[in-house]
Structure 1
């Protein structure tokens, strides 16, 4: 059976994806940027807009990282405002489970789901570093196994809060406009080794019942967490072989949790460069990569893996002869670049092999491993590549990350989407009212028993 392609848009966080030197590059804080980006995604019939969130500006060598000085507006505030200027587009926000509390987050997402008439989504993430924890009363950080344990229990608690209202617990008084509820509606009493809370949840059941749940972990714990509870998982595997392997692994975990393959969507992040011809697109992509990775940026990325001061290293020379320094105390504060590599020295060996095979300088190597675009070509070429990967079970669709904000989606929507529609693999209108319906996910009804994640 031919699969339908799902598309979403990521408003880029502060990183080297955005080509800041391009005159078309706009603000990442002004609301007009968010509005144009969201409305273009909706014009392209995308499923949702995704906002990342960082809870602290990044540092390197004790100074604010040069790609992070623009700041990070509050996710809920932006998404709530976008609910008023869009009608169908899903609104997905990354919210941390390590330093927030379940009642607060559940209340915020239930409110967003009401305000947007059923378009809210939550990307459940954890935070690994003490640097971020210094912003919060709890401080510190949690080891990986404890982070995922807290995340599981955090999500379990939030689901209990959302499910504390039955679908028929609330009715509208048509005369006064008041909400009327049963006395026991919203009652909850939750105790585990992370949370001990009780009371009444203050927001009635929202249009989706619960927001759509996203998860982005690639570790064993992250994959199992997603298979147990997530509606969609963000993947970094956008090429065919790695994508198929990841797809098969995660989808294969679903039956053990009583779930079907169609209950979880796998959506890799993907960058793109379009041209009138494939050759022109390749030339543009080369220029984009050079703009994304300056010599200074190359050294910054190198330091994040090597975990040592390399400010005197020549970006146009070979990789350092010394090995990376492993450990949790990294030079790049607030970034998981070192932490996500279980063995930095092994990654460095891989980089040396790639550099030697291509006779690459440090900067050229960093461009190769960090700055490559997922899709490069004419609109028809890119549309066919996207469709091919979806039909081959390498993904269920893609979350597009343009290198220009806010206008970077325009050409994709105007040129690539019509080809996907012509191929018969992409919608010509939104299927439903809620994000859950447009993603093809079943309705979330109230659980009769508390959710337990192993």
Structure 2
């Protein structure tokens, strides 16, 4: 008996501050005007996507004392954007990245509960942490947390927020549906939390929202991040682009769920993915090369090289050879507000490898960055891309993808028009929304139902 086909989950990432977005393209729009967000969200909804995702940038990045050359002025506040999008969409989930290092549980829980009400049950929270003291300078608690304590605070932050969401659960809360008013006793919304990071008590003043709690996403790939996701998240992002790497990550994270009394289908694994489409595979490959060169200018290439060399390389020709000088491996970091420096655990080894590649292929600095940097995940005709996406999901390398177009806001349109219908024809993607909340779209149970299931067992 053949295994039934999995249903694919698709979401759309409104591009953040990075060189993936080609702002120089004539078709590129604004990063801050609401019309861009509205166009993007409406495209995702007509394609029947699960949700729209917003990343977060709390400070403009610097390098060499200057604002990083790829940064834009910034982005409006996440909750403001998502609340506005709730008014121009009906089904699309609304996911915001909110930091657990620089915020407080009460205010974040209140904001998400409000968004869940305003959107009729479509809110989701991507819980992130920050080790970055440079970003932390914007906050009273700037840089105070050692790296090893980030997940400790995040875990307690989420647990505390859940206590606030759940403080309106119980038989003591009655609603007069005719008037929309709530009849409650003094216990409704009351909370007390005492822990390592938070010692708070009071009354939560937002009633139980349609989803009970927002859907929770987690983005960490460390050991601590994987455990955090397995114990507390509804979905985890993955950065693995190949089938084998994706399968290994999928197997590892899903295998951790049982110890927390959870089933494999109670945590979704959703990698971010870029794409380039053409009428034929050959046309798409050619276009992908053009896009990649637009994404990596000479100035961008030098900045990326500086992440490894940890030195000012502005005097080097990006169309010339790699520096002969070795990377600076001291604790001083030339890049502020970026994690890339820490991603290269052995800069000297990376530099040696890159020099060997450049020599073997006669690559300039820019050529090297273009050929070793992040590539488009899905390149080809609509038929090829649809088939590849389905192959990944059916092979348990992911449960779906969060798509990141290189043009904002119209870059998602071609995927919605040409790839989604093919997935629908294969019977692996919805043709209509079957529920009203984001939990419905993702196949996730309501927290109250999960509580009853645990009590029964």
SS state at 2:200 partner: strand
Indicate whether 1:266 and 2:266 are aligned: no
Equivalent residue for 1:213, pick from 207, 216, 241: 216
CA distance in 1, matches of 2:315, 2:144: 32
1:441 Cα offset (Å): 1.1
1:346 Cα offset (Å): 3.6
Indicate whether 1:276 and 2:295 are aligned: no
- Cα 1:97–1:288 shift into 2, 3 Å: same
Preserved CA contact (<8 Å) 1:163 1:447: no
Q: Deviations over 1:81-100 (max 9, x none)?
A: 00000000000000000010
Preserved CA contact (<8 Å) 2:279 2:382: yes
Match of 2:143 in 1: 140
Match of 2:236 in 1: 233
- Cα 1:369–1:431 shift into 2, 3 Å: farther
CA distance in 2, matches of 1:31, 1:404: 16
CA distance in 1, matches of 2:355, 2:231: 38
CA distance in 1, matches of 2:38, 2:375: 28
Preserved CA contact (<8 Å) 2:318 2:365: yes
Equivalent residue for 2:76, pick from 54, 58, 73: 73
Match of 2:154 in 1: 151
Q: Can you give the 5+ residue segments of structure 1 that lack an aligned partner in the other structure?
A: 450-454
**Map of 1:119-134 to 2, 5 A cutoff?**
119-134=122-137
SS state at 2:121 partner: coil
- Cα 1:397–1:313 shift into 2, 3 Å: same
- Cα 1:328–1:222 shift into 2, 3 Å: farther
CA distance in 1, matches of 2:356, 2:83: 47
Equivalent residue for 1:300, pick from 293, 300, 303: 303
Match of 1:35 in 2: 38
Preserved CA contact (<8 Å) 1:127 1:141: no
CA distance in 1, matches of 2:272, 2:120: 26
Q: Can you give the 5+ residue segments of structure 2 that lack an aligned partner in the other structure?
A: 453-457
Q: Deviations over 1:179-206 (max 9, x none)?
A: 2222101111111110100011111111
Indicate whether 1:345 and 2:348 are aligned: yes
- Cα 1:328–1:33 shift into 2, 3 Å: farther
Match of 2:406 in 1: 403
CA distance in 2, matches of 1:436, 1:426: 16
Equivalent residue for 1:362, pick from 358, 365, 372: 365
CA distance in 2, matches of 1:307, 1:73: 31
Match of 2:455 in 1: none
- Cα 1:437–1:174 shift into 2, 3 Å: closer
- Cα 1:438–1:167 shift into 2, 3 Å: farther
Indicate whether 1:44 and 2:47 are aligned: yes
Preserved CA contact (<8 Å) 2:273 2:376: yes
Preserved CA contact (<8 Å) 1:163 1:446: no
- Cα 1:176–1:393 shift into 2, 3 Å: closer
SS state at 1:9 partner: strand
Equivalent residue for 2:189, pick from 183, 186, 189: 186
Equivalent residue for 1:114, pick from 117, 129, 144: 117
CA distance in 2, matches of 1:141, 1:333: 16
Point out the more displaced range, 46-55 or 321-330: 321-330
1:369 Cα offset (Å): 2.5
CA distance in 2, matches of 1:157, 1:352: 49
Preserved CA contact (<8 Å) 2:95 2:126: yes
- Cα 1:247–1:353 shift into 2, 3 Å: farther
CA distance in 1, matches of 2:243, 2:177: 55
**Map of 1:303-382 to 2, 5 A cutoff?**
303-326=306-329, 328-382=331-385
TM score, norm. by length of structure 1? 0.95
Indicate whether 1:391 and 2:394 are aligned: yes
- Cα 1:192–1:275 shift into 2, 3 Å: same
Preserved CA contact (<8 Å) 2:17 2:57: no
SS state at 1:122 partner: strand
TM score, norm. by length of structure 2? 0.95
- Cα 1:338–1:177 shift into 2, 3 Å: same
Preserved CA contact (<8 Å) 1:308 1:324: yes
Indicate whether 1:88 and 2:91 are aligned: yes
Q: Deviations over 1:25-77 (max 9, x none)?
A: 00010000000000000001000000001111111111111211321211000
1:286 Cα offset (Å): 0.6
Match of 2:56 in 1: 53
Match of 1:250 in 2: 253
- Cα 1:401–1:274 shift into 2, 3 Å: same
- Cα 1:224–1:349 shift into 2, 3 Å: farther
Point out the more displaced range, 198-207 or 175-184: 175-184
